[in-house]
């Protein structure tokens, strides 16, 4: 008979720092009983070829995500603020790099 699989092992999101000095980057998720096991499994699943020097695991339920339906409301207001970019400003050539 089949036994239940992983019903009660929660999902974790895995973030890996590929190299000292760089940020941790989301690289995937996995099921584990607790944080220590999640770290252990993340090591085996996501860093078999020295892809990382540090791992974070976060319970997936702890992540609050923005709603895709709010995309316009959240991000569109930035679209017409071109003066936030350096290229908006004209500086005489003789000034050189600024």
Partner 1 sequence: MYTQAMDIPDDSGKKLAAVSNATSEQEAAFEARIDADGRIEPQDWMPEAYRKTLVRQISQHAHSEIVGMLPEGNWISRAPSLKRKAILIAKVQDEGGHGLYLYSAAETLGTSRDQMLEGLHSGKAKYSSIFNYPTLNWADVGVIGWLVDGAAIMNQVPLCRCSYGPYARAMVRVCKEESFHQRQGYEALLVMMKGTDEQRAMVQDAVNRYWWKCLAMFGPPDADSPHSAQGMRWGIKRISNDDLRQKFIDATVPQAKVLGVTLPDPDLKWNEARGHYDYGQIDWAEFWNTVEGNGPCNKERLATRVKAHNDGQWVRDAAQAYARKQKERALKEAA
Contacts with partner 1, residue ranges (CB under 8 A)? 1-9, 11, 27-34, 37, 44-45, 48-49, 65, 67-68
Supply the minimum distance, in Å, between the C-beta of residue 1 and partner 1: 8
Do 30 and 41 touch, CB atoms closer than 8 A? yes
| Residue closer to partner 1, measured from CB, 3 or 20 | 3
Q: Is 21 left (phi over 0), alpha (psi -120 to 50) or beta?
A: left
Give the C-alpha separation, 38 to 40, whole Å. Answer: 5
Cα 39 versus chain centre, distance? 16
Supply the minimum distance, in Å, between the C-beta of residue 62 and partner 1: 15
| Residue closer to partner 1, measured from CB, 54 or 66 | 66
Name, in order, each residue with C-beta under 8 angstroms of 39's C-beta and a sequence gap of 6 or more.
55, 57
Supply the minimum distance, in Å, between the C-beta of residue 28 and partner 1: 6
| Residue closer to partner 1, measured from CB, 71 or 91 | 71
Which residue has tokens 């999101």? 13
| Residue closer to partner 1, measured from CB, 5 or 98 | 5
């Amino acid at each position: 008979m089949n036994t239940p699989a992983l019903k009660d092992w929660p999902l974790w999101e895995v973030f890996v720092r590929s190299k000292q000095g760089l940020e941790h980057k989301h690289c995937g998720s996995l099921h584990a009983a607790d944080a220590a096991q999640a770290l252990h499994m993340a090591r085996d699943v996501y860093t078999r070829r020295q892809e990382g020097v540090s791992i974070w695991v976060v319970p997936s339920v702890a992540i609050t995500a923005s709603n895709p339906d709010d995309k316009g409301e959240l991000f569109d207001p930035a679209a017409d603020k071109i003066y936030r970019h350096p290229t908006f400003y004209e500086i005489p050539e003789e000034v050189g790099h600024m």
